[in-house]
Amino acid sequence: ASTLGAQAAQSGRYFGTAVAAGRLGDGTYTGILDREFNSVTPENEMKWDTTERSRGSFNFGPGDQIVNRAAAHGQRMRGHTLVWHSQLPSWVSSIRDANTLRSVMNNHITQVMNHYKGRIYAWDVVNEAFADGGSGQQRSSVFRDVLGTGFIEEAFRTARSADPAAKLCYNDYSIENWSDAKTQGVYRMVRDFKSRGVPIDCVGFQSHFGTGGPPSSFQTTLSNFAALGVDVQITELDIAQASSAAYANTVRACMNVARCTGITVWGIRDSDSWRSGENPLLFDRSGNKKAAYQSTLTAL
Ligand code: XIL
């Protein structure tokens, strides 16, 4: 096939991108979006600081713009994200009472998932809950500090009852290298969830890589997680300087794992990227295909 989405579909996978509502008026942007991609993740529009900026007052306008557009173009949607320590309003991060925070978290999950019910293929229920470095433990956040480490399980259980048809993912960065303590910490959590029947369906590997691309163990990591009985997905791919080899290696790691169900790049053109200074994407600032585009298409 001649586009990323159509080529990925030949093996039953999707190829997606992050989309920013503010760019939907740009015809070059939407032209590439609709030609190449069959999955969409809102870059910021479903984060807590947009969806519930003040307690109990929900704003779905920007998210709806992206969801409605994706539906009209036959693109699947990843929901991103329900519980995250970042882009979190201060009215949440300042809560110190566990009962209050528990009901605030569960209400947020329930309201947002209810609003988008039936329109989201997979939700990043919890994002970036593990610490960098050697601890292999959860990071400090208002959720862990006030509710305890069980907040992740609680979030997934609440999510499952809110929308039983959506796949429920745990999403994080720097969990691509199998030997890293952070990877092992997330692996132990997923293994524990599966063994106790806590509802989890997928693990998202953000894959924000440096110039070298993925660690050599990336495919091992994907297949070890998949062996626990979850789907794995590459959810926010970008690679500093976007070398063709680094992109091809990343795509091949996914293609070689049956339960790696899709790949999402974190933006369309380099100028759209949150790392725009590193030119990490598949299209240049004018919207032309870069060399990494061709190596990606070939590896799919
Ligand atoms: C980034 C967005 O791309 C930026 O526009 C925003 O300013 C900050 O967040 N991990 C995630 C994504 O899960 O939501 C982040 O997206 C990048 C890192």
- pLDDT, tens digit, 9 for 90 and up, residues 137-173: 999 999 999 999 999 999 999 999 999 999 999 999 9
Q: How confident is the model at residue 59 (pLDDT cuts 50, 70, 90)?
A: very high
Is the shortest distance between the CB of 274 and ligand 1 below 6 Å? yes
**In sequence order, which ranges of 73-140 are alpha helices (DSSP H)?**
90-93, 98-115
ipTM of this complex prediction, to 2 decimal places: 0.99
Q: Are the CB atoms for 168 and 124 separated by under 8 Å?
A: no
pLDDT of residue 233: 98
Query: What pLDDT score does 138 carry?
Result: 98
Residue 221: which of 208, 238, 203 has the closest Cα?
203
* Cβ pair 237, 176 in contact under 8 A: no
In contact, 205 and 221? CB cutoff 8 Å: yes
Instruction: Tell whether ligand 1 has an atom less than 6 A from the beta carbon of residue 276.
Output: no
Look at ligand 1, atom 3, and give the residue with the nearest C-alpha. 274
Q: Is 206 in the pocket of ligand 1 (CB under 6 A)?
A: yes
